[in-house]
Structure 1
Amino acid sequence: MSFAMAQDLLRLAQMAASRRGGVSLEGICTVFDVSHRTAQRMTEALDVAFGNVTTVDAEDRRRYWRLDARPPERLLAGLTPRDATRSEADAEAVLASLSQVMRPGSTVAPSPGVTDAVMDALRGPFRLRVIYGSVDATPRVIEPLGLLLCHRSYLVARQPSHSETILNFRRDRIHAADVLNESLVFAPSFTLESYAAKAFGVYQDPAQYGEVIWRFAPEAAVRAAEFRLHPTQVLEPQDDGSLIVRFTAAGWLEMAWHLYQWGDKVEMIAPDGLRTLDEGYQRPDFEALP
């Protein structure tokens, strides 16, 4: 059983927090339909992930695990450094499971089984055999390198039999995934951070990669400065109160989607292709800024 995305662990945490006496190994076996040894591993994972777990040996000669505190600060502090850095999404998921956090807006949810397999493969790291695109597609073996988390989540991976090109696989289009007992070695030059920084969103296009320059009107400058639009951004406040933002990336369509929210309060100085894409769509009647 994988606890990569903390799905079963979150459910267990809810039980341990909401039940006055906590949860026992026997109760875990019944609720999750797992073996006694798996239930033990689940309580071990609960101890690792949270700093506020206590155990009580009751009169029925059973041991109970209880999650004592619910405030989000305590929950975050309880994560070990390794688990905290593994995935920011895990921490958010823990809080969401305890009704402390909601992520509004539209999202596309991948299959839980696929998510577990992906996270197991990333932690290995191991190769994955996936069914991608259509349910009757030919299986392909890929080498997972990392995840890009947004309204659609993407698995960054190579498909060695096809090429060494790094690809983005939509996780919601992965219909099945099996972890192979085949380890892989990351290229020394690859980092997920530098790879993701080549795009404004997730779309990678070498032909569009280059300097991007936007000028935000004075009435939008303060709001725009609050955004981390891109990891390489440079902010240049102007004498007239406007703000110029420079960064280097690709993905004009995703840039255009973002810029539409600013109405006529932003000017595209570069590149020419983005400016052409945005012409005629800068509305003056939006009531609020992003």
Structure 2
Amino acid sequence: MSFEKAQQLLELATFVASHRMGVTLNDVGERLGISKRTAQRILHTLEVQFPDTQASFDENGHKRWRLQTGALRDLLTLTPDELAALDLSIETLERNSLGVEADQLRCLREKILALVPRNKVARLETDHEALLEAQGLAARPGPTARLTPEISSKISTALKGSERLKIVYHSRRNSEATVRVVEPYGVLIGMRRYLVAKSLSDPDGPLRYFVADKIQSAELTGEFFERDHDFDIDQHAQKAFGAFQNEQEFDEVVWKFRPSAAAHARDFLFHPAQVLEDQPDGSLVVRFNASGHLEMCWHLYMWGDQVEVLAPLALRKMIEHHQRTDFHALP
């Protein structure tokens, strides 16, 4: 049995064991993205390799396969990618004021880690820390651009090992995609995902931002590089309001919310380093330092005429004549 088939069989066994009521042929086909005939073959292999597998018909006449979790206890472990995804989910809940749910997920994380064999924890934590260092701001709710699992996996692998990536990238400025070799430093997650990387064609230049969904393909080069040890993805992410950054725009941002919207605005976290100032007239001033004027405009539009941009002047001019007065509710 090839490594890929063995991996698929283990994934199937985990899937079956996690469903107390068992799974059907259609469930397996949808989960693994395979045809009905292939699903039949792999389920037969499951029965051969895991004798504890039970097959029976439910009240609707559908055949269901079940597997006791004990049969998998010594075969399963937690991967750094899965642990990083769990931590990212916890961070997402906390950033969206879902503290109770975040605490529940954190307890689940602790229970899972308690089941990981001690001899596997050291390697797990090393790769997990590398992934966390490369994660940007947690995703915000709302529309997001799609990113294929294959490309996402290649980026994740490159980040863990500080490995150069060869990407085929279609930028908005070019009519055709071009091949580039980059040194990935992290991923910023917002309405769009941005791969933060240095271009090998300009190694001494600034970090570049590649729109992840514009990467048509990604290939690991097998070439490794030494990251700048002073680089911190979280501090870097705070330079922007959303995900995209522009060093020329980076400056103090000052918004003033009317008294009628002040209490509502006070409940928002516009930026991790924001400063709130209550005014004598009941209005609220919010200050922070960031770039990303266009993403600020998209957000400010939702507040209608309930917010005034005091600084910077360029942002003030961008929203001028675009603030509506007929919105009946605040964001």
Counterpart of 1:108 (choices 145, 163, 170) is: 145
Aligned to 1:18: 19
Counterpart of 2:196 (choices 135, 144, 156) is: 156
The alpha-carbon deviation at position 49 of structure 1 amounts to 5.7
CA deviations 1:164-187 (Å, max 9, x no partner) are 220111111111111122222111
Aligned to 2:311: 270
Contact 2:80 2:131 in 1 (8 A): no
Q: Larger helix proportion, structure 1 or 2?
A: 2
Q: How does 1:28-177 map to 2 (within 5 A)?
A: 30=42, 43-45=76-78, 75-78=108-111, 80=113, 82=125, 83=128, 86=131, 105-133=142-170, 137-163=177-203, 164-177=205-218
* 1:48–1:245 CA distance, 2 compared to 1 (3 A): closer
Report the TM-score when normalising by structure 1.
Answer: 0.71
Between 76-85 and 125-134, the greater mean CA deviation after superposition: 76-85
Higher alpha-carbon Rg:
2
Q: What is the aligned residue count? A: 244
Tell me how far apart the structure 2 counterparts of residues 276 and 9 of structure 1 sit (CA, whole Å): 58
Correspondence 1:287 to 2:328: yes
SS of equivalent residue, structure 1 residue 122: helix
* 1:277–1:182 CA distance, 2 compared to 1 (3 A): same
* 1:280–1:123 CA distance, 2 compared to 1 (3 A): same
* 1:197–1:239 CA distance, 2 compared to 1 (3 A): same
The alpha-carbon deviation at position 217 of structure 1 amounts to 1.2
Q: Larger strand proportion, structure 1 or 2?
A: 1
The alpha-carbon deviation at position 42 of structure 1 amounts to 7.3
Tell me how far apart the structure 1 counterparts of residues 260 and 112 of structure 2 sit (CA, whole Å): 41
The alpha-carbon deviation at position 87 of structure 1 amounts to 5.5
Report the TM-score when normalising by structure 2.
Answer: 0.63
* 1:197–1:213 CA distance, 2 compared to 1 (3 A): same
- Letter aligned with residue 30 of structure 1: I
The percentage of counterpart residues that share the same residue type is 39
SS of equivalent residue, structure 2 residue 164: strand
The alpha-carbon deviation at position 79 of structure 1 amounts to 5.1
Tell me how far apart the structure 2 counterparts of residues 47 and 16 of structure 1 sit (CA, whole Å): 22
Specify which structure has the bigger relative contact order, considering alpha-carbon pairs within 8 angstroms and separated by 6 or more residues: 1
- Structure 2, unmatched stretches of 5+, are 29-38, 50-71, 84-103, 114-123
* 1:79–1:171 CA distance, 2 compared to 1 (3 A): farther
- Structure 1, unmatched stretches of 5+, are 3-7, 51-70, 91-102
SS of equivalent residue, structure 1 residue 235: strand
Aligned to 1:200: 241
The alpha-carbon deviation at position 77 of structure 1 amounts to 3.8
Contact 2:189 2:243 in 1 (8 A): no
The alpha-carbon deviation at position 205 of structure 1 amounts to 1.8
* RMSD, aligned α-carbons: 4.0
